[in-house]
Amino acid sequence: MQIYIYQGATAPPTVASITIVIDVIRAFTVAHYAFLQGANRIYLAEKVEQAFQIKNEHTDYLLAGEIDGLAIKGFDLDNSPYNIKQKNLVRKTLIQKTTNGVKATLNCLSSEHIFVTGFTNAKKTAEFIKNKLITNKIKVINIIASHPNGDDDLACATYIKSILDGSNSMSNKEVKERIIHSHVAERFLDEGNVAFNFEDILYCIKELNTNFVMKINKSSEIPVIERVNV
């Protein structure tokens, strides 16, 4: 079995049986907390226009996301895990549009199994795949660090790989340190940058022991993240 790590939101050159797409700061950390707050499912929109079109057809759905880290005008929710944690999302459906994580996921639909995660659910995702999905038939696993040059996603990808290959060569403490010191986190740590909340980084580095993973359902007309209990 080969495990490859790729960085960026473009389609990877290697087709895999299993793909794990990572967006630590912040898309799939937001998705994880949204499910914890009761959300049913999260549709992935390639473009803002598509997100609004889905919303027009399903007015009870909630739009969530960002462009270049900033909230999108007309969206119901931004891309802040701290803000999502304050919402009651019981039985709600979200439509997510983000710069890196969503785009990377939509470019990996050729994979048989696709999972998404931030650091908060990385260990649970890796353990689920290792214990429930890996067989002799699985030849290739792709791990996608969706930020094109962010060490936050790359650190998380390396951590997941170390669990999958059994080396356990990277500690969760090291991942947290690399997330905090990544250039992606800098604007959140800048007190003068009021558009970005320091609390978000604290939420992004919490490793949570939750009882589900997040998997893409490709059979839906629009790809959707679903909660899969483990």
Beta bridge partners, 20, equal 115, 143
In this prediction, residue 136 carries a pLDDT of 81
Beta bridge partners, 144, equal 6, 21
Distance CA 117, CA 104 (A): 12
Q: Which domain holds residue 169?
A: 2-229
* 26 upstream amide cis, omega within 30 of 0: yes
Neighbours of 227 (CB within 10 A): 19
- Below-50 pLDDT ranges, the chain: none
| Residue 152 CA: distances (Å) to CA of 7, 95, 122, 174, 176 | 11, 24, 12, 11, 8
Domain total for the chain?
1
pTM beyond cutoff 0.95? yes
In this prediction, residue 10 carries a pLDDT of 97
What DSSP designation does 162 have?
H
In this prediction, residue 52 carries a pLDDT of 98
What's the CATH code of the domain at 89? Answer: 3.90.1560.10
Amino acid sitting at position 144: I
Query: Per residue in 108-142, pLDDT tens?
Result: 999 999 999 999 999 999 999 999 998 888 999 99
In this prediction, residue 134 carries a pLDDT of 87
